[in-house]
Amino acid sequence: MAILDKLLENLKDYTSKLDEANNVDLDSWFNLFAILHLLQVQAQSFIDLVQTLLSNMGISSQGYRDSIRKLYEKNLITAEERDFLISVVGFMNIIVHEYATVNPIFVKKIMENKEYRRLLEIAYNLREKAKNYWDC
C-alpha cells in the first residue's frame, strides 16, 4: 500500500475509534487521556499526510502551520479549512506540550460536535483535488 493511502487508512481508523468513544465519560481521567491521545495521533496522521502530499508535489515546508499555509496557497483547502487546521495544530501542541492546561469542557465539545471528523473529510477532499500527486 502506498504511503498516502496508508496514512489515510490510519486517519480513518483513528476517526472510527473516536466515533466509538464518543459516549465515554470524560469526567474519568483515564477516558479523558485516552481521547486526548486519539485526538493527538489523528491530528499527527493528518499532518503526516499533508507533508507527504506536499513532498510529492515538490513543495517543501517549514513546520505544520507552513504546510497548511501552502495547501491554501495551492487552492487545495479553503480559508475556513485553513483556519480549522491551524486550530487543530494548536490544540495538538497543547496536548503534547501543555497537557496540564487542557480544558476537559473543550474536549467534550469536540467530541459532542464530532469536530474531529472534519480532518477525514478534508483528507478525502485533498485526495480528490491533488489526485495527480497522490502516491506517485
Confidence of residue 123 (pLDDT cuts 50, 70, 90): very high
pLDDT at 98: 82
Share of the chain above pLDDT 90, in %: 85
Residue 136 pLDDT greater than 70, yes or no: no
What are the tens digits of pLDDT across the range 26-77?
A: 999 999 999 999 999 999 999 999 999 999 999 999 999 999 999 999 999 9
Reported confidence tier of residue 99, pLDDT bands at 50, 70, 90: confident
Query: What grid cell was written down for 6?
Result: 496508508
Cβ contacts of residue 115 below 8 Å, gap of 6+? Answer: 109
> What count of other Cβ atoms lies within 10 Å of the Cβ of residue 4?
22
CA pair distance 69, 13, nearest whole angstrom = 26
Taking the C-alpha atoms of residue 19 and residue 16, their distance in angstroms, rounded to an integer, is 5
Question: Is the whole-model pTM more than 0.75?
Answer: yes
Q: At what angle do helices 64-73 and 79-97 cross, to 10 degrees?
A: 170
Burial class, 121, CB count within 10 angstroms (exposed 0-12 / middle 13-18 / buried 19+): exposed
